[in-house]
């Protein structure tokens, strides 16, 4: 059997060898990290080592890393009116989220529906900074919390986060940045970005599924209302015995991602260039969505009028190639993406959008196999769909 080609890294990445070793070693330990005996201290040591590695990945202090069960949980922990800072103890009164955020941010965490506002994006997939400034005009919101992702999971478009931070801070607000897709692919320094809170997920950088982190820009930022109360773990912000093995693997993945960032980004970019050049030759009408903007080096979202993404995914799967239709959460469902709708992409084109996302073990031969499969399918798929719509091929 020929090997499968996995090009869906934005949905999840394979475990890095370092993370797999850390996971196995930690799973063999008996201690509870809250226990004071040697077994407990051994488990605690693994968590603190991981905290240092995760902090280093984003230029933060280890004390400011709060481990959670996922990126989703970190987003929900971050999005609460009950964030206090040294200078401001009153609750945050409004939440502003960009129209292209992950559903776990768009749901608004613990804000009431009526307190949440959308910030539109431009056709190029970047958040509209003028609209952000307008929305934050002092008369409208006095203590806003704003959430803008660093890179979009569907298009890969990198957002103008540092510029957004300047606007948010000038309006007396705090900025949360979902860096789940950006971490390990582009530089992601919490200070340089101007983020007050930043979300990470282990499984996108080569750790195991089921671990994430919320990182604070400093201990000044305090949550008056932890998401999970109980035993006081994670400085009282996230109770529950820690997922020691998952956290240890997260740390190992973060260290590897940080050490190999430049090399891996260059590798992915070279292969993505090959992919997009090939696509242009095979399907000159294909549109690369967000293609005019700065993007993650590993992501291509493209659409071809007349092709349905679900049909294309199944056909590619049968050829041994795994890709997805926009976000993983919506694959399998015939739904057009909120990201593409926000960018003003027509539903007809949006329904055909295919996301090809690469990683550090992707090879030139993987790209060639994708292109060969696409060459074989593209003509037949668009012909079939034209016939279904009663248009002569």
Least distance from ligand PLP to the Cβ atom of residue 314, Å: 21
Sites for ligand PLP among residues 133-152 (CB under 6 A): 149
Q: Does 382 bind ligand PLP (CB under 6 A)?
A: no
Nearest to 69 by CA among 246, 257, 204, 253: 246
Stretches 163-171, 178-186, 190-198, 244-252: which one binds ligand PLP (CB under 6 A)?
Answer: 178-186
Contact predicate 20/249, CB 8 Å: yes
Stretches 25-33, 118-126, 174-182, 185-193: which one binds ligand PLP (CB under 6 A)?
Answer: 174-182
Active site residue 188: no
Q: Sheet holding 287-288: strands in order across?
A: 287-288, 299-303, 354-357
Tell me the site size for ligand PLP, rule CB under 6 A: 13
Least distance from ligand PLP to the Cβ atom of residue 212, Å: 5
Stretches 40-48, 165-173, 175-183, 231-239: which one binds ligand PLP (CB under 6 A)?
Answer: 175-183
Q: What would you report as the CA-atom Rg of the chain, rounded to the nearest whole angstrom? A: 22
Least distance from ligand PLP to the Cβ atom of residue 14, Å: 15
Among 178, 242, 264, 366, binds ligand PLP (CB under 6 A): 178
Q: Does 72 bind ligand PLP (CB under 6 A)?
A: yes
Stretches 58-66, 68-76, 293-301, 376-384: which one binds ligand PLP (CB under 6 A)?
Answer: 68-76
Distance, CA of 309 to chain centre:
21
Please identify the residue of the shown chain whose CB is closest to the bound ligand PLP.
71
Q: How many helices (H) and strands (E) does the chain have?
A: 13, 14
Among 71, 206, 326, 350, binds ligand PLP (CB under 6 A): 71
Least distance from ligand PLP to the Cβ atom of residue 69, Å: 8
Nearest to 67 by CA among 53, 81, 79: 53
Interatomic CA distance for residues 275 and 349, integer angstroms: 20
Q: Does 234 bind ligand PLP (CB under 6 A)?
A: no
Structure tokens at 132: 């952000």
Q: Between 152 and 362, whose beta carbon lies closer to ligand PLP?
A: 152
Structure tokens at 126: 């970047």
Interatomic CA distance for residues 182 and 200, integer angstroms: 9
In sequence order, which residues have a C-beta less than 8 Å from that of residue 318 and are 6 or more positions away? Answer: none
Stretches 162-170, 177-185, 221-229, 373-381: which one binds ligand PLP (CB under 6 A)?
Answer: 177-185
Phi, psi of 127 (to 5 degrees): -60, 145
DSSP run (H or E) holding 107: none
Q: Which of 115, 329, 341, 349 is catalytic?
A: 329
Contact predicate 158/182, CB 8 Å: yes
Q: Between 293 and 382, whose beta carbon lies closer to ligand PLP?
A: 293
Least distance from ligand PLP to the Cβ atom of residue 149, Å: 6
Structure tokens at 218: 């400093």
Contact predicate 147/98, CB 8 Å: yes
Interatomic CA distance for residues 177 and 105, integer angstroms: 10
Sites for ligand PLP among residues 321-350 (CB under 6 A): 328
* Residue with the two structure tokens 């190999």: 260
Active site residues: 329
| Residues near ligand PLP (CB under 6 A) | 70-72, 102, 104, 149, 153, 178, 180-181, 201, 212, 328
């Amino acid at each position: 059997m020929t090997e499968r080609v996995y090009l869906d890294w934005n949905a999840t990445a394979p475990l890095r060898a370092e993370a797999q070793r850390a996971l196995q070693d930690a799973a063999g330990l008996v201690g509870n990290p809250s226990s004071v005996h040697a077994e407990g201290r051994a488990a605690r040591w693994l968590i603190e080592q991981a905290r240092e590695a995760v902090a280093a990945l984003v230029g933060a202090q280890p004390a400011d890393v709060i481990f959670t069960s996922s990126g989703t949980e970190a987003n929900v922990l971050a999005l609460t009116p009950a964030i206090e800072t040294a200078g401001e103890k009153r609750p945050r009164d409004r939440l502003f989220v960009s129209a292209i955020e992950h559903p776990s941010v768009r749901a608004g965490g613990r804000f009431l529906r009526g307190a949440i506002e959308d910030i539109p994006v431009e056709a190029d997939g970047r958040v509209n900074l003028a609209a952000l400034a307008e929305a934050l005009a002092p008369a409208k919101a006095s203590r806003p919390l704003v959430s803008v992702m660093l890179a979009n999971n569907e298009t890969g478009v990198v957002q103008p986060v540092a510029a957004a931070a300047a606007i948010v801070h000038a309006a007396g607000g705090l900025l949360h940045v979902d860096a789940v897709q950006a971490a390990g692919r582009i530089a992601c320094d919490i200070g340089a970005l101007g983020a007050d809170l930043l979300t990470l997920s282990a499984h996108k950088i080569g750790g195991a599924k089921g671990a994430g982190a919320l990182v604070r820009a400093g201990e000044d930022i305090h949550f008056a209302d932890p998401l999970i109360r109980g035993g006081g773990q994670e400085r009282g912000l996230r109770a529950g015995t820690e997922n020691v093995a998952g956290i240890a693997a997260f740390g190992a993945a973060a260290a590897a991602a940080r050490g190999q960032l430049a090399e891996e980004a260059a590798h992915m970019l070279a292969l993505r260039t090959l992919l997009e050049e090939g696509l242009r030759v095979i399907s000159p009408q294909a549109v690369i969505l967000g293609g005019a903007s700065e993007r993650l080096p590993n992501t291509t979202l493209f659409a071809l009028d007349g092709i349905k993404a679900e049909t294309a995914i199944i056909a590619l799967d049968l050829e041994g190639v795994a890709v997805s239709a926009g976000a993983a959460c919506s694959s399998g469902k015939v739904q057009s993406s909120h990201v593409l709708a926000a960018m003003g992409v027509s539903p007809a084109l949006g329904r055909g959008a295919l996301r090809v996302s690469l990683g550090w073990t992707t090879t030139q031969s993987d790209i060639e196999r994708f292109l060969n499969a696409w060459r074989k399918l593209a003509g037949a798929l668009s012909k079939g769909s034209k016939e279904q719509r009663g248009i002569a091929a």
